[in-house]
Amino acid sequence: MSVKSIGILGAGQLARMMALAGMPLGYRFNIYDTSGAPSAGIGTLFSDPSNTQQELNSFLAEVDVVTYEFEHLPLDLANTIAQRKPLHPNALSLATCQDREREKAMFTELGIPTPRYRIAHSADELRRAVDALGLPVVAKSATEGYDGKGQAVIRALDEVDAAWNKIGHPRLVVESFVTFSRELSVIAVRGAQGEVKSYPLVENHHHEGILRYTLAPARQVSATHADQAADFITRLLNRLDYVGVLALELFETPQGLLANEMAPRVHNSGHWSMNGAATSQFENHLRAISGLPLGNTEAQRPTCMINLIGCEIDLKAVTALPDCYIHLYDKTPRPGRKVGHINVCAETESSLHERVRQVLSVLPSMPDYPYA
């Protein structure tokens, strides 16, 4: 099938960046919003907070293939769409990533190591999980949590009831606390015929539960870890019969890599690829779902992605700096809101760190830069 029009479920910044990547390829974009607060500002918008059949029919009539920018979508909506139009990634991928218990089970099935974990359906079961795993533990809602939401670290037994009440979810995944040297992620793309290409491992730094910096490629990655990460994500892609971009978050530990969680979409830790790789994650996702050959995923030069959270920037000051690429999402700043990102590139890692420090000097309220 020749794809001319692509539908995107969700109308945030990831939909916006997908559309911007696809327009040079001649694609048209129709965006279906169920939140009532769309911000993509591009393509033809179908806003449907009430999930009415009429608006969905109008949307589907305009598209050849459908994808999504956010995994917290109603599964019944995804299944309905999949019966009428090609949906990539498929509904199985969406269902797996929506449920941490199901996701952990798939990791185990595929031989992908994870932190030890238990499932808790009550405060008493949470207490038994703590006893089995040992303190400290991380308790997470089985569904709906992201960017640090729906989580609590338990360091003492008398914190169990407060953690259960704080999370407020009927089913928790309780994980042993992992001592790790750094957080890594790998992004890969799988085409409709099963071809897989992986981007290099990147290094991520979070502040208050939100990604703030991504360094690509990650520093001093062993060949063993690079191969292991590519193998893990390839197993997942093939098991899910996946088409599109998938992200896998990892912990680097003295015992090796442990899988944290996966995301069935283009991912914040892949934004560096817009200026640091030959083919961005957004273009490769569109290539995959529309049946085109996949593009080169190699890093072209060292890149640091700086997330802009809840702040306005001095556009004149930032654009005056060399090899600094600004991507703003046309969103009104408010605390905790992702309003844009900046990719900083250089020919060497040491010169990259110097350029990042220059950029940070003209940005407001940024957390400490951890890589130099």
Give the pLDDT of residue 149: 75
Which residues face 177 on adjacent strands? none
pLDDT at 261: 94
Quick check: 147 pLDDT over 70?
Answer: no
Band of the pLDDT at 52, cuts 50, 70, 90? confident
Sign (positive or negative) of CA dihedral 288, 90, 270, 315: positive
How many helices (DSSP H) and strands (DSSP E) are in the chain? 12, 17
- Return left, alpha or beta for 286; rule: phi > 0 is left, psi -120 to 50 is alpha, else beta: alpha
pTM, two decimal places: 0.95
Strand positions, DSSP E, 222-333: 244-253, 256-263, 303-309, 324-328
DSSP conformation letters of 141-210: ESSS--TTTTEEEE-SGGGHHHHHHHH--S-EEEEEPP--SEEEEEEEEE-TTS-EEEPPPEEEEEETTE
Interior/surface letters 202-216, b for 16+ CB within 10 angstroms, e for the rest: bbbbeeeebbbbbbb
> Rounded distance, CA 188 to CA 204, Å?
16
Mean pLDDT confidence for 18-27: 98
**Distance separating alpha carbons of residues 5 and 46, to the nearest angstrom:** 14
- Contact (CB, 8 A) for 152 and 175: no
The pLDDT tens digits of the residues spanning 303-327 come to 999 999 999 999 999 999 999 999 9
> pLDDT of 63-115, one tens digit each?
999 999 999 899 999 999 999 999 999 999 999 999 999 999 999 999 999 99
- Answer whether 18's CB lies under 8 Å from 270's CB: no
Joined together, the tokens standing for residue 119 give 């499932």
Cβ neighbors of 302 (< 8 A, separation 6 or more) are 215, 216, 217, 276, 345, 346, 347, 348, 349, 352
* Phi, psi for residue 202 in degrees, rounded to 5: -125, 160
- For 350-371, what is each residue's pLDDT tens digit? 999 999 999 999 999 899 999 8
CB atoms within 10 A of CB 109: 10
Domains of the chain with bracketed CATH: 5-87 (3.40.50.20), 116-176 (3.30.1490.20), 182-360 (3.30.470.20)
CA distance 332 to 200: 33
